[in-house]
Chain A
């Protein structure tokens, strides 16, 4: 179960002066699609009694989300944390996570969110499956285990697909497909007792330092432009609804928006 900690989406506001995102002091959360994936993992645990291990890669501040995951019912967590991982794009990230998963070992099913709300590529999940050379199903809303195989309901553009794959496999989970549970008291107590989150470095896992980090990432962000949206007309219609709407519709017709 792979998760990432991201800035809380609804807390993000644009500074009207600089037109940039205010990031400082923004609270963090489990990437929402990852929380949906975790809920599926915990439901499978409820039904089949499997062990749920949560994995993340990032700074130690990510412990907050790992603790929450354990509070929700995950058994233990691993944080791959190492300064040399900084600036990794999706290629080294998928590589490093797949190496860590191989090191954890004994997995039947790897769950990820469909994408993160901060980078929104959706590339890491399939990238892990590619590295581990296992089957993948993306954009799933429901996952069942039957006869030693995984059945997953995938939502595509044109319809709903039920896929069947062997285990081990990787499934990425649709954002909003379920309501993630809240942490329980007993879960929080397990966190308090400690010993449930392991911190691993690249050396602990055997990750090749020449394959991770900013300098070993195929892509770089060369520059970032602030988007100055073309100014909009901003014609406002005040007053009684009947009158405001009448003038609005007149304007829409005059501007050729309505016939």
Chain B
């Protein structure tokens, strides 16, 4: 439990890069796959093997398949109690394996479960964990340089964990691009024994209601995101944004102000306390551009800004901008896009009424 057990004196014994592989509906969560690519790069620079860690039940086939993304080996811990993610058993598995094999670096996806696990685990191991990293490097001494946005994404903080091992970091989804899968890649799948006692299973999942996909594409997967903010003034204008998003083949999202006002659900929030998106085109409608919002969308390919206030900070990020009343501009965009698609028939554009 003590820092000393993992710290200063035996730092040199820690070797290898690990990725925690998170399950999702019988497959791997996409952020885990994305991480394998970046972890491969770091492992190669350290001249160290890359290991995936997969706690679950009946997951050996999945482990073998995961090798194809660039892993050298996968440690599988198989137990019926690991079929569903639970904080305590997963923390026990990771802590036990880390103490047993002493990896130098451990990566986690910054999913809800990844953060739940990482937060508990780093306190139990008493080692450093940097959240939501966007970039990794190595310093002159071979320490992992864990680079994360600090407040609002306007600056990048370089986090080092010099004396404690392993160095641990989490990464949000869509920060790294998933590596190509090579079915011919060879690697080892090793079964590891970690005893899960009945007392370790201290939480019961009594109900689960899956989110349905109704309402079209999800903003964090869509090539175009049409996002609405304070300027919309209420929930109704989001209907017009949805129409614009449909015409552009995209999804609707929102700023924190629109969410806080109760106009749209929190799952649509882009920004520091919401999701990170990097679509090909981000359309910001009536969003002033608080730094927390920019943190969630500034990596977008192109940014189109519609705002009545020419001084809105959002315009500083604009590839394209229209200073004007969104209630005139957006219906006009809908009208012209419909015309271009030959949709001018009897269906009058919903939002074009004066």
Contact A234 B118 (CB under 8 A): no
Q: Does B47 contact A (CB under 8 A)?
A: no
Q: Which residue of B lies closest to A238 (CB)?
A: B323
CA distance A162 to B207 in the complex (A): 5
The answer, among B151, B163, B319, B324, for a CB contact under 8 Å with A21, is: B151
The answer, among A120, A136, A245, for a CB contact under 8 Å with B132, is: A120
Stretch at the interface among A44-52, A53-61, A199-207, A248-256: A248-256
Contact B321 A176 (CB under 8 A): no
Number of A-B contacts (CB under 8 A): 259
Contact A245 B332 (CB under 8 A): yes
Q: Which residue of A lies closest to B121 (CB)?
A: A130
CA distance A165 to B205 in the complex (A): 9
CA distance A28 to B214 in the complex (A): 39
Q: Which residue of A lies closest to B203 (CB)?
A: A165
Chain B residues, CB < 8 A from A218 = 3, 122, 126-128, 161, 163-164
The interface bits of chain A over 87-103 (1 if a CB of B lies within 8 angstroms of the residue's CB, else 0) are: 00111001100000000
Q: Does B158 contact A (CB under 8 A)?
A: yes
The interface bits of chain B over 111-139 (1 if a CB of A lies within 8 angstroms of the residue's CB, else 0) are: 11101111111111011111110000001
Query: B residues 140-167 with Cβ under 8 Å of A?
Result: 145-146, 149-164
CA distance A249 to B303 in the complex (A): 13
Contact residues of A: prevailing secondary structure: mixed
Q: Does A138 contact B (CB under 8 A)?
A: yes
Contact status of A138 and B115, CB under 8 A, knowing A235-B321, A244-B324, A246-B336: yes
Q: Does B25 contact A (CB under 8 A)?
A: yes
Chain A residues, CB < 8 A from B202 = 135, 165-166
Contact residues of B: prevailing secondary structure: mixed
Contact B323 A164 (CB under 8 A): no
Contact B206 A164 (CB under 8 A): yes
Contact A235 B319 (CB under 8 A): yes
Q: Does A158 contact B (CB under 8 A)?
A: yes
Contact status of A163 and B204, CB under 8 A, knowing A125-B119, A126-B116, A245-B329: yes
Q: Does A184 contact B (CB under 8 A)?
A: no
Chain A residues within 8 Å of chain B by Cβ, number = 84
Chain A residues, CB < 8 A from B149 = 227
The answer, among B127, B260, B273, B323, for a CB contact under 8 Å with A236, is: B323
Contact B130 A224 (CB under 8 A): no
Chain A residues, CB < 8 A from B207 = 160-162
Q: Does A189 contact B (CB under 8 A)?
A: no
CA distance A179 to B14 in the complex (A): 47
Contact B208 A160 (CB under 8 A): yes
Q: Does A12 contact B (CB under 8 A)?
A: yes
The answer, among B113, B160, B329, for a CB contact under 8 Å with A241, is: B329
Contact A237 B302 (CB under 8 A): no
Chain B residues, CB < 8 A from A9 = 290, 292
Contact status of A245 and B333, CB under 8 A, knowing A164-B204, A236-B321: yes
Chain A residues, CB < 8 A from B145 = 222
State the Cβ distance, B87 to closest chain A Cβ, in Å. Answer: 5
Contact A21 B317 (CB under 8 A): no
Q: Does B210 contact A (CB under 8 A)?
A: yes
CA distance A138 to B118 in the complex (A): 12
The interface bits of chain B over 155-192 (1 if a CB of A lies within 8 angstroms of the residue's CB, else 0) are: 11111111110000000000000000000000000000
Q: Does A174 contact B (CB under 8 A)?
A: yes
CA distance A13 to B313 in the complex (A): 9
State the Cβ distance, B155 to closest chain A Cβ, in Å. Answer: 5
Chain A residues, CB < 8 A from B164 = 218
Contact B112 A156 (CB under 8 A): yes
The answer, among A91, A126, A163, A220, for a CB contact under 8 Å with B203, is: A163
Q: Which residue of B lies closest to A216 (CB)?
A: B3
CA distance A154 to B154 in the complex (A): 31
State the Cβ distance, A92 to closest chain B Cβ, in Å. Answer: 9
State the Cβ distance, A1 to closest chain B Cβ, in Å. Answer: 18
Chain B residues, CB < 8 A from A10 = 290
Contact status of A131 and B150, CB under 8 A, knowing A158-B210, A244-B324: no
Contact A244 B322 (CB under 8 A): yes
Chain A residues, CB < 8 A from B333 = 245, 248-249
Contact status of A219 and B128, CB under 8 A, knowing A127-B120, A136-B116: yes
Q: Does A175 contact B (CB under 8 A)?
A: yes
Contact B203 A137 (CB under 8 A): yes
CA distance A225 to B159 in the complex (A): 12
The interface bits of chain B over 37-77 (1 if a CB of A lies within 8 angstroms of the residue's CB, else 0) are: 00000000000000000000000000000000000000000
The answer, among B159, B208, B320, B325, for a CB contact under 8 Å with A220, is: B159
CA distance A233 to B281 in the complex (A): 13
State the Cβ distance, A193 to closest chain B Cβ, in Å. Answer: 34
The answer, among A126, A226, A237, A257, for a CB contact under 8 Å with B123, is: A126
Chain B residues, CB < 8 A from A241 = 322, 324-325, 328-329, 332
Q: Which residue of B lies closest to A154 (CB)?
A: B112
Can you name 26 A-B residue pairings with CB atoms under 8 Å? A10-B290, A89-B128, A91-B128, A115-B273, A121-B132, A125-B119, A126-B87, A126-B117, A126-B118, A130-B119, A135-B202, A136-B120, A139-B116, A155-B267, A218-B3, A218-B164, A219-B160, A223-B157, A223-B158, A224-B157, A227-B153, A227-B154, A236-B318, A241-B329, A249-B336, A257-B302
A12-B290, A138-B115 given; name 18 further pairs at CB < 8 Å: A21-B151, A115-B273, A123-B123, A126-B117, A157-B112, A159-B211, A161-B205, A219-B161, A220-B161, A224-B155, A225-B156, A232-B303, A232-B318, A233-B319, A241-B325, A245-B332, A249-B340, A255-B302
Nearest 5 pairs of A and B residues by beta carbon: A126-B119, A127-B123, A218-B128, A219-B128, A162-B207
